[in-house]
């Protein structure tokens, strides 16, 4: 009985963490990324709109999939006008931003 209760608590807790990190991700995204990336329109700012990442493809489609790995790679390495965030964000911040970006 205790075991089941603990498991259920763990499950609820991990959902709460996932929701919390998507919300932190939104606030962080607004601070660090929204200057260059639109999220609700197709408008191109300094970078392409990231609207539609949840559909699985990057906006400037060269056919790359909008996976966690590919988004994280871009955040870490930047390039072509995208800043290098490797040392500017913690692992937790990057995870939160990427999780949020994948809801766009
Ligand atoms: C100073 C402007 C600027 C900021 C700030 C910025 N980006 Fe970018 N970003 C760009 C540009 C420009 C590109 C296009 C680069 C390219 O074509 O390779 C880009 C590309 C991307 C791509 C790849 C899109 C594609 O189609 O391949 C992703 C994902 C991305 N940015 C996410 C982010 C995230 C997340 C943040 C915040 C941590 C962020 N960017 C902050 C300018 C910016």
Query: How many Å apart are CA 60 and CA 63, to the nearest integer?
Result: 8
Strand partners, 65: 57
- Does 32 sit in the ligand 1 pocket, CB within 6 Å? yes
Q: Can you give the pTM of this predicted structure?
A: 0.85
Looking at ligand 1, which residue's alpha carbon is closest to its atom 18? 80
- Does 26 sit in the ligand 1 pocket, CB within 6 Å? no
pLDDT tens-digit profile of 47-75? 999 999 999 988 875 668 999 999 999 99
Mean pLDDT, residues 94-101 taken together: 95
pLDDT at 48 (0 to 100): 93
Instruction: Please report, for the chain, the start and end positions of each structural domain, with discontinuous segments joined by +.
Output: 2-101
pLDDT at 58 (0 to 100): 86
Query: How many Å apart are CA 70 and CA 64, to the nearest integer?
Result: 8
Query: How many Å apart are CA 2 and CA 62, to the nearest integer?
Result: 51
pLDDT at 14 (0 to 100): 73
Query: How many whole angstroms from 19 Cα to the centroid of ligand 1?
Result: 24
User: Token pair for residue 35?
Assistant: 């200057």
CATH superfamily, domain 2-101, is: Cytochrome c-like domain (1.10.760.10)
Query: How many Å apart are CA 20 and CA 22, to the nearest integer?
Result: 6
């Amino acid at each position: 009985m205790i075991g089941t209760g603990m498991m259920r608590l763990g499950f609820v807790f991990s959902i709460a963490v996932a929701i919390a990190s998507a919300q932190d991700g939104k606030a962080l995204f607004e601070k660090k990324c929204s200057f260059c990336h639109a999220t609700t329109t197709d408008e191109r700012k300094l970078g392409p709109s990231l609207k539609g990442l949840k559909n699985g493809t990057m906006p400037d489609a060269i056919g790359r999939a909008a996976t966690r790995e590919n988004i994280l790679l871009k955040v870490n390495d930047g390039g072509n006008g995208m800043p290098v965030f490797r040392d500017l964000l913690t692992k937790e911040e990057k995870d939160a931003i990427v999780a949020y970006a994948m809801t766009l």
